């Protein structure tokens, strides 16, 4: 099969992932049919997993692997989560293929999940840790949107810091019907706990202010 990632991109990704601290596992959920981009997402994840000895790729089935589907709250395919070096789900989820610009939020999440310090100020981290109610952050993106990876990255970092928070990327073209339900016609669109909205790539401070209010 022809590779999705050419040699030049492979080298860039290898280099990008070189600072990884601890191992990370990618758990992809697919199904036989119907599934737009399941094949491509499988190929992308397995090709990327080959580029670092700290990455493991596991594939599960939406219908058969009920236990994991429940554990990680999987609702659609393709969808994947990242597990830390202890095999723990830390609320980092991607729905749809993270290609185009979104490769950046994917690779950044791997580094962050591996335990690489992402440089947040101690005061900011302590505020994030204080959020004590369940928070779900959906970030709708298109693969041609340059502002989107920043918003996805912020949602995922909040999730990694605080186990009450889950951050999920949703690729709007693959999940068009879902995007219509959420009236998405501009991205990034950030939906928090199904009812609060932020538009555009907001700094972590804007996310946090909203989370502290709700």
Partner 1 sequence: MFSFSIEKTSDASVFKTGSFWDLLIIGAGPAGMNAGLYAKRKGLKVGIISGEIGGQLHYTSTVDNYLGFKWIEGKDLSDQFLTHINSLEIPVLKHVKVTELSSVSPDFELVLSDGRKLKTKTVLIATGGAPRRLNIPGEDTYANKGVSYCTTCDAPFFKDKHVIVAGGGNSAAEAVLDLIPWASKITVVHRSQWRADQILLDKHQTIDKLQVHLNTKITQVYGDETMKGIEVMDQSTGKTYRIEADGLFIEIGTVPNSALVKSLVSTNPQGEIIVDSNQMTSYPGIFAAGDVTEQPYKQIIISAAEGAKAALAINQYLNHTYKGA
144-163 as b/e, with b when 16 or more CB fall inside 10 Å? ebeebbbbbbbbbbbbbbbe
Q: Which two tokens stand for residue 178?
A: 């879902």
Q: Which of residues 24-43 bind partner 1 (CB under 8 A)?
A: 40
Q: Is 124 in the site for partner 1 (CB under 8 A)?
A: yes
Q: List the one residue from 44, 62, 82, 191 that touches partner 1 (CB under 8 A).
A: 44
Q: Which of residues 136-155 bind partner 1 (CB under 8 A)?
A: 142-150, 153-154
Q: Pattern of binders to partner 1 over 190-209, x per CB under 8 A?
A: ---------x-x-xxx----
Q: Is 21 in the site for partner 1 (CB under 8 A)?
A: no
Distance of alpha carbon 80 from alpha carbon 96, whole angstroms: 8
Q: List the one residue from 45, 51, 82, 97 that touches partner 1 (CB under 8 A).
A: 97
Please enumerate in sequence order all residues whose Cβ is within 8 A of that of 209, keeping only pairs 6 or more positions apart, or say none: none
Burial of 1 (0-12, 13-18, 19+ CB in 10 A): exposed
Stretch that binds partner 1, among 53-61, 81-89, 158-166, 178-186 (CB under 8 A): 178-186
Q: Which is nearer to partner 1, 57 or 120 (CB)?
A: 120
84-120 as b/e, with b when 16 or more CB fall inside 10 Å? beeeebbbbbbbbbbebbbbbbbbbbbbbbbeeeeee
Per CB under 8 A, residues contacting partner 1 are 4-5, 9, 12-13, 15-16, 40, 44, 97, 99-101, 103-104, 107, 117, 119-121, 123-124, 142-150, 153-154, 172-173, 179, 183-187, 189, 199, 201, 203-205
């Amino acid at each position: 099969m022809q590779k999705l990632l050419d040699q030049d991109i492979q080298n860039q990704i290898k280099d990008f992932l070189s600072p990884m601290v601890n191992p990370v596992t990618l758990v992809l959920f697919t199904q036989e049919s119907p599934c737009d981009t399941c094949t491509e997402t499988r190929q992308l994840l397995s090709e990327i997993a080959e580029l670092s000895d700290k990455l493991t790729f596991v594939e599960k089935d939406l219908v058969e692997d009920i236990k994991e589907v429940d554990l990680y709250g999987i609702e659609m395919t393709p969808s994947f989560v990242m597990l830390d070096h202890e095999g723990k789900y830390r609320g980092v989820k991607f729905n749809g293929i993270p290609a185009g610009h979104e490769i950046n939020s994917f690779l950044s999440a791997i580094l962050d999940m591996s335990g690489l310090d992402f440089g947040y100020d101690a005061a900011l981290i302590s505020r994030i840790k204080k959020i004590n109610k369940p928070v779900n952050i959906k970030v709708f993106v298109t693969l041609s949107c340059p502002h989107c990876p920043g918003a996805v990255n912020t949602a995922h970092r909040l999730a990694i810091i605080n186990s009450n928070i889950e951050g999920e990327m949703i690729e709007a073209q693959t999940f068009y019907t879902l995007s219509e339900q959420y009236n998405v016609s501009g991205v990034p669109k950030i939906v928090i706990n199904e009812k609060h909205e932020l538009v555009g790539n907001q700094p972590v401070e804007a996310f946090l202010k909203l989370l502290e209010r709700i």
